[in-house]
Chain A
Amino acid sequence: MERRLPLLVCFVSGLLMFIMYFSSHPTARLINLTVPLYWQIVFAFTLIIGVASYLRNNVRGIKKGESRPYRIVSVGGFVTMVAVAAIWGIKADTPFMWIFENIQIPMQSTVFALLAFFVASASFRGFRARSIPATILLITALLILLSRTPLGNLFDFLPDLADWLRNYPSMSARRAILVGIGLGSLTTSLRVIIGIERTWLGGDK
């Protein structure tokens, strides 16, 4: 029961959505519109579960004294966001949006920008023309980087060459990867629906 019922729900919902895709009957259309909506709602609950786990872990950590100041700041940030949203709402010019614009966005974009340094230092250490594939990788990256800088304008052909590399050889490899992803997703989805792939149930039975 503990495994069969979830497997049955998975099978029925998967088969239903698969069959409905090929039907233009009004009921099928209604199901096609409704189930993704229900999916979003149930998925939203998984976020709440995640938040509950985050709070539980951090409160435990605070009680035990593990990284207490950082955990307090983290939980404090979370509680503040929820509290200001509950009191003043989330429309424009509310404290909620003020925190979002002046705390969350600047920090998020700075963390994103920080990665430029790590990517640059990793490439400085890792990029070596040891073999033909490594040399191709190095040259392509350099051409793309140069073509997007003012230095690239010194050579008329460089922006066009970079665009050609992106639109044809690079696109062809990307396309092959996408075909692989498509076929892989297809087989994995089939395995999940018919119950061969059961790792989501936990355990190894």
Chain B
Amino acid sequence: MDIGTLVAGLLTLAVLSFLYRDNPVYKMAESLLIGVSIGYFLVVTWESTLMDTMFEPLFAGDDFWLLLPLLLGLLMFARFGRRVAWLAKIPIGFLIGSGAGVAIPAMLYARTIKQMSATVVPLTTSSGWPDISGIVVLVGVITTITYFYFSREHEGVLGRSAKIGTYFLMVFFGATFGFTVMSRMSTFIGRMEFLLTDFLGLMY
């Protein structure tokens, strides 16, 4: 067994020990995971975003406009000084503003227009029979949207529609739950397979 498998196996067991109860071994593994993950993301961000996208073109003299995001980025550190802390809100304003500016057309197109156009489809098949699945989707979208309409009290037709909407929502939550459990289970099976095969050598 190589050292990598040994370390991975011991750490896997340390994390699984939480199933018994919260214990120092689990806490140690959890702390290590936090530290290593933060280090990993910092290094990857430094290499892929700051070095490749900013510092290298800047030092090569290719694009001096990159001084602008560098300046904005450095302003972030102003939050550590009491008197100049407000300066850190300038880059935050840039992040939030440009993000919102990009989000308006993107959200309108992808989340609203595309979803509505995919819903409004012919409700009959080519042979003239009603397309049950298409009708189910149309009814589901309309009734679920009425469930999220809070400007009027859910009474009468609106109330009945909202009630049907909850049934569709329950189907969605049930399906999502089922798939989530299955994905977690398959990961767990993967970890057990690693422990029994590579780490303990009980299975081949």
A: residues with CB less than 8 A from B are 2-3, 5-18, 21-22, 34-49, 51-52, 54, 69-71, 73-82, 85, 90, 96, 98-117, 119-120, 123, 132-134, 136-145, 148, 162, 164-183, 185-186, 188-190, 192-193, 200-202
> Is B64 in contact with chain A by the CB < 8 A criterion?
no
Q: In the assembled complex, which residues on chain A have CB atoms less than 8 Å from the CB atom of B93?
A: 5-10, 13, 200
Residue of B nearest to A49 (CB): B76
Q: In the assembled complex, which residues on chain B have CB atoms less than 8 Å from the CB atom of A76?
A: 32, 35
Give the 4 A-B CB pairs with smallest separation, nearest first: A172-B140, A81-B39, A182-B111, A144-B178
CB atoms of B8 and A102 under 8 A apart = yes
CB atoms of A110 and B43 under 8 A apart = no
Q: In the assembled complex, which residues on chain A have CB atoms less than 8 Å from the CB atom of B141?
A: 172-173, 175-176, 179
Q: Count the B residues whose beta carbon is within 8 Å of the partner chain — how many?
A: 113
Partner of B96, one of A10, A54, A106, A132: A10
CB atoms of A178 and B115 under 8 A apart = yes
**Interface on chain B toward A: helix, strand, loop, or mixed SS?**
helix
CB atoms of B111 and A46 under 8 A apart = no
CB atoms of B100 and A14 under 8 A apart = yes
CB atoms of B4 and A102 under 8 A apart = yes
Known: A81-B42, A140-B175, A173-B172. 14 other contacts (CB 8 A): A38-B72, A41-B53, A42-B73, A43-B95, A73-B32, A75-B35, A100-B36, A103-B11, A106-B194, A132-B167, A136-B174, A173-B165, A192-B97, A200-B89
Cα–Cα distance between A10 and B92 once the two chains are bound (Å): 8
CB atoms of A17 and B101 under 8 A apart = yes
Q: In the assembled complex, which residues on chain A have CB atoms less than 8 Å from the CB atom of B176?
A: 170
Partner of A18, one of B104, B147, B167, B185: B104
Given A42-B72, A70-B28, A172 contacting B7 (CB threshold 8 A) = no
Cα–Cα distance between A36 and B137 once the two chains are bound (Å): 36
CB atoms of A168 and B136 under 8 A apart = yes
User: What are 13 A-B pairs at a CB distance below 8 A?
Assistant: A2-B89, A6-B90, A14-B97, A44-B49, A47-B41, A49-B76, A71-B31, A90-B47, A100-B36, A108-B37, A109-B187, A175-B144, A179-B116
Binds A, one of B13-21, B122-130, B152-160: B13-21
Cα–Cα distance between A140 and B167 once the two chains are bound (Å): 11
CB atoms of B100 and A193 under 8 A apart = yes
CB atoms of A189 and B182 under 8 A apart = no
Cα–Cα distance between A79 and B68 once the two chains are bound (Å): 30
